Every structure is written in structure tokens, then in C-alpha cells.
Amino acid sequence: MIISQTPLRMSFVGGGSDLPAFYREHGGAVLSTAIDKYVYVSINRKFDQGIRLAYSRTEEVQSIADIEHELVRAAFDMRGIRGGVEITTTADIPSRGTGLGSSSTFTVGLLNVLGAYQGQHVSAEELARGSCEIEIDRCGQPIGKQDQYAAAYGGLNLIEFHPDDSVSVKPVIMPRDLRDLLEQRLIVFYTGITRSASAILANQSAETGSDRAKQAALKRMVELAHVMRDELGRGNIDSFGHILAENWSLKKSLTSGISSSDIDGWYDRAIGAGALGGKLLGAGQGGFMMFYAPRERHEDIANAVGLRQVRFGFEPLGSRILFYNPR
């Protein structure tokens, strides 16, 4: 058996600029961090040449053409795996449709474990690029590139998306004590609402293509990603909350349905209780909400919002092989 462990992520600023319709013309940038919540993918050799998959459902098939899970089918085809394996996946928290990049995290972890099964080390860059190829090119999903790179590389990074389709991952350099303080001042809640990121991102991509106001909003969000990187490097961590607030206001202008009356209500109550800024994680409509506030305000914010709080930490490492016993 071989097991990969791949971190989910929280995106702070710039989300949406990683869509090809935008970055191929203007360039994009996102500031995000991997977190200590993971997707685990295991592979085991079967005694026959069949294929068994266990995720939110179970599939047992005889050929990759019969696999219904399109990401698994595309990954098997990419890696040249024809059968004789069992794949199982689990996650630390409900992940699908919650804004933590779970689909891309799964794809990165799957490619990592398939490479190890074939006796090959797969680099972070290869994992990220391969996952983008599977999700965007082979499966035609209308998504961006930030989740794949966050899962593959780990850490707190400024991730830049260039018009030639190349991607740069630049670690955010800041004092260790301030990084710890930033982590401590973030508070995250689960809304209990799940949604399809693909539908939201497809609408956003279509609308920003010809709308100059929306393009201007995304350009400002890209600027904010660089500003946040610079402010953190200078040790001005309270600026983090104010930048989050501006980014969230811009994000809501990109397409309809990103927010809702419930989400706006939770946000306003958190700000009223002492948060300096916040946002909905992911594409929008549901999932997890994150706020930045002094630690002494967290209890008041939790009481005001009334949602389930989720504890987390920053994760410095990307996808890795947790257990390796190839038999």
C-alpha cells in the first residue's frame, strides 16, 4: 500500500485572476496558504486486473473506460495505468464544494500516489502541471490554476499566473513570530452550505471577458495580492484584514451569486463584533468563511456569527508520500 497526504488550501486575495480568460491577457496573482487539513489517497495492488475505487461512492470496473469518476479516469490514462489497483480516498473535513480546493487537492494527491506506485518521484511542479492538464484540458472544467499549485507546493505563497501559461510560486517571506501571529488571528467558520465552484467560475469567466468594470476589479485584486505580500514582509499584519475586506468587496462584484443574504449577514455581524476583514473561501455561495481579528475578539465574533468554528494551522509542505510499501 502507498498513501499520499495532500493539503487543502485557503486563498486570501486574487482568486479569479487564475482563470485563463483573464491571466492570458492581463496576468494574475493569488496569495494563499496550504492548511493542516488533508486529502488522503491510497493505492493497493489488486489480486486481479480489475479496478476498485472508493470515494463518496464505490466503483468496481474492469477497464479505465468504464470509470465514472472523470478525474481518476483521466489520471489513469495520463499515467498509463490499465488496471489491477484499488484506490481509496478520505479527507479530514467535508471538502467537496466548500471552497478549500478539494477537487484539485485530490487530483494532486492521486497523481502523487500513482507516480509512487510506478516507482517514480513526481516533483511539485509536475504534480501541479499534471493536475491542471487533467482538470482543465482533459476534463474541460472551467476552473483556474491556483488550487493545484497550492496543494502541490504547500506553504504561504504568492502564486503568479503568466500570459504564456507558466506559473511562478514565490514564498511569502516574513518573521516567524509574525507568521504565527497571523495564523492565530484568523478565525474560520463552516457555513454548512456546499455548492458547485465550476458553475460560478464559468459565469465569472464569461462575464469578465468583455466587461471592463469587472476586469478592472480583477486587476485591482491582483494588485492587492502583491500589496498583501509586501505588507506581510514589512510586518504590517493588521493591513491583512483591511486588504481582505477590499478584496471581498471586489470579489462580490465579479458575478452574481457569489454572496447571499445569509453570507452578507454573517459577514456584517463578524465585522460588528471586531473583525477587521474577511471573506468567503473559494468561488462563492457557501463553504467556509474566514475573518481576521485580534485574538481577544474571537469569542465575540463566534457568538455573533453563530456558525461552527473550525480550527486549522498553516501547512508548510505540499503533497507528500506518507506511507510507502509497494507490494
State how far the Cα of 202 lies from the Cα of 199, in Å rounded to an integer. 5
Which residues share a beta bridge with 38? 7
Q: What is the mean pLDDT of the chain?
A: 93
Could you read off the pLDDT of 161-216 as tens digits, one per residue? 999 999 999 999 999 999 999 999 999 999 988 765 556 666 656 666 667 888 99
The CB density around residue 236, as the number of other CB atoms within 10 Å, is 14
**With contact defined as beta carbons under 8 Å apart, do 64 and 83 qualify?**
yes
Phi, psi of 114 (to 5 degrees): -70, -40
State how far the Cα of 257 lies from the Cα of 254, in Å rounded to an integer. 9
Helix (H, G, I), strand (E, B) or coil at 18: coil
Instruction: Quote the pLDDT of residue 110.
Output: 98
Instruction: Quote the pLDDT of residue 259.
Output: 84
Count of positions (residues) in the chain: 327
The DSSP annotation for 41-57 comes to EEEEE-SSS-EEEESSS
Instruction: Quote the pLDDT of residue 155.
Output: 98
Instruction: Quote the pLDDT of residue 287.
Output: 86
Where exactly are the structural domains of the chain?
2-173+315-322, 176-310
Could you read off the pLDDT of 127-161 as tens digits, one per residue? 999 999 999 999 999 899 999 999 999 999 999 99
327 pLDDT tier (thresholds 50, 70, 90): confident
In the chain, where does DSSP find H-type helix? 20-26, 70-79, 102-117, 124-132, 146-153, 176-185, 197-208, 212-234, 239-252, 261-272, 298-305
State how far the Cα of 104 lies from the Cα of 124, in Å rounded to an integer. 13
The CB density around residue 65, as the number of other CB atoms within 10 Å, is 9
Q: How many CA atoms lie within 13 A of 9 on its CB side?
A: 38
Please determine, looking at this structure, whether the domain spanning 176-310 carries the CATH number 3.30.70.890: yes
- List C-alpha distances in Å: 120 to 2, 13, 73, 326: 12, 35, 20, 12
**With contact defined as beta carbons under 8 Å apart, do 248 and 259 qualify?**
no
Could you read off the pLDDT of 5-23 as tens digits, one per residue? 999 999 999 999 999 989 9
Which residues share a beta bridge with 161? 28, 167
State how far the Cα of 19 lies from the Cα of 29, in Å rounded to an integer. 10
- pLDDT for residue 298 is more than 90: yes
> pTM higher than 0.85, yes or no?
yes
Pairwise pLDDT comparison (7 vs 327), residue with the higher score: 7
Q: Kindly state the average pLDDT of the residues 92-107.
A: 85
Could you read off the pLDDT of 244-275 as tens digits, one per residue? 999 999 998 887 678 888 999 999 999 999 99
Phi, psi of 159 (to 5 degrees): -110, 120
Instruction: Quote the pLDDT of residue 253.
Output: 86
Q: Kindly state the average pLDDT of the residues 47-58.
A: 94
Helix (H, G, I), strand (E, B) or coil at 312: coil
Instruction: Quote the pLDDT of residue 260.
Output: 87
Please determine, looking at this structure, whether the domain spanning 2-173+315-322 carries the CATH number 3.30.230.10: yes
